[in-house]
Structure 1
């Protein structure tokens, strides 16, 4: 698409303006995992903000104990 608009700077400017992704203020996409960047399965309790997979790997380092 940009190849066609390369010679038309005004149309290219308008294309970029109206086709830019919307700035999100809420939702799941705003809180990626601090360790791996994954979006889904996020644990926010205690301000962890890590995904469940990273939590399972790092729970002992974070001070959590497993009780049976």
Structure 2
């Protein structure tokens, strides 16, 4: 499951400044310094099963889909 993007809602209410200010005050996520929510998959945005090694920044499902394109080989 991916996290929701607050920019979608901000684009919808950009014509209403009072609602926009209230939304930004109460609903925008705070900046994370560390933890699980900091790392997202580059392709799908998923938080879980993250592979950060070699600077991949992919979840395991997206890694399996594109591993051969990245140069990884599957051994038996």
Residue in 1 that maps onto 2:10:
none
Residue in 1 that maps onto 2:36:
28
When structure 1 is superposed on structure 2, of 20-29 and 32-41 the one drifting more is 20-29
Structure 1 segments unaligned to the other structure (5+ residues):
1-8
Residue in 1 that maps onto 2:14:
none
- Rounded to whole Å, the distance in 1 between the matches of 2:41 and 2:74 is 22
TM-score by length of 2: 0.61
Greater Rg over alpha carbons, structure:
1
Work out which structure has the larger RCO, using CA pairs closer than 8 Å and 6 or more positions apart in sequence: 2
Residue in 2 that maps onto 1:5:
none
Structure 2 segments unaligned to the other structure (5+ residues):
1-17
TM-score by length of 1: 0.68
Let me know the Cα RMSD of the aligned residues: 1.9
- Rounded to whole Å, the distance in 2 between the matches of 1:41 and 1:32 is 10
* Deviation >6 Å, runs of 4+: none
